[in-house]
Amino acid sequence: MAVITGIEVNRGRVVVQADGATIARLPKAHFEKCPLHEGDEIDPERWLGSVAEAQRADAYEAALTLLDYSARTAKQLSDALRLKGYVAPAVVSTVERLRSAGLIDDARYAQRMAEAQAAKPVGIYSFKRKLMVRGISEDDAEEALSRFDDGQQRDACRAAAQSLWRRYGALPPREARAKLSQALARRGFGWDVIEAAVDDLTE
């Protein structure tokens, strides 16, 4: 059991603390469905479960609204719902419901992102970082990365090098090569394709 040690209302949100630690930040309307008072003794997990039940319908509608604006991964959607004040059990059940209905699919998201990125001068390591930040699993990321083969990366790196060369072409040759190589590495290209692209351009 835990003791409610703080309840603070600010701009339509209620921050609930138990034993000095924050256990929820939720909309006032949802808090009023499962009210508490300072000094109450509760089972935090059980109370959060009750809040989740009260939030379930609103969480689903909020998720659909977010998906209307843009496709999202499970992680992106979960993060957005938590920021709106939905508690973890409500978020988890909402994401699972959407996944079961095929409304969110991380593998499909990664494939579509790969299709768009493969046409741009983007390095494979940069693209993988973008997938990881969005919460794409290692397996789904590897499947999407199959579009970025050696030939595609050579062409992409060459295109990026030609675009960047305007910045460095007037520098002494050694300095120009070094700065161009570093810029390409920051874009996520491997050193083998960087070396080939820089050699082609400087020759």
User: What is the tens place of the pLDDT at every residue in 54-106?
Assistant: 999 999 999 999 999 999 999 999 999 999 999 999 999 999 999 999 999 99
Average pLDDT score over residue span 131-148: 92
HEC profile of the chain: CEEEEEEEEECCEEEEEECCEEEEEEEHHHHCCCCCCCCCEECHHHHHHHHHHHHHHHHHHHHHHHHHHCCCCHHHHHHHHHHCCCCHHHHHHHHHHHHHCCCCCHHHHHHHHHHHHCCCCCCHHHHHHHHHHCCCCHHHHHHHHCCCCHHHHHHHHHHHHHHHHHHHCCCCHHHHHHHHHHHHHHCCCCHHHHHHHHHHHHC
Q: What pLDDT is recorded for position 41?
A: 94
- pLDDT band per the 50, 70, 90 thresholds, residue 136: very high
| Confidence at residue 117, expressed as pLDDT on a 0 to 100 scale | 87
Task: Produce one character per residue of 61-91: b if its CB has 16 or more CB atoms within 10 Å, e if not.
Answer: ebbeebeeeeebbbbbbbebbeebbbbebbb
pLDDT at 170 over 90: no
Domains of the chain plus CATH, in order, are 2-100 (1.10.10), 105-203 (no CATH)
Q: Which residue has the higher pLDDT, 34 or 119?
A: 34
The reported pLDDT for the residue numbered 203 is 66
Q: Confidence band (pLDDT; 50, 70, 90) for 171?
A: confident
Tens digit of each residue's pLDDT (9 = 90 or more) over 10-42: 889 999 999 999 999 999 999 999 999 999 999
The share of the chain scoring above pLDDT 70, in percent, equals 100
* pTM of the predicted structure, to 2 decimals: 0.82
pLDDT of residue 90: 97
43-52 pLDDT, tens digit each: 999 999 999 9
For residue range 148-160, what is the model confidence (pLDDT) as tens digits? 888 889 999 999 9
The answer, yes or no, to whether residue 181 has pLDDT greater than 90, is yes
pLDDT value of position 168: 84
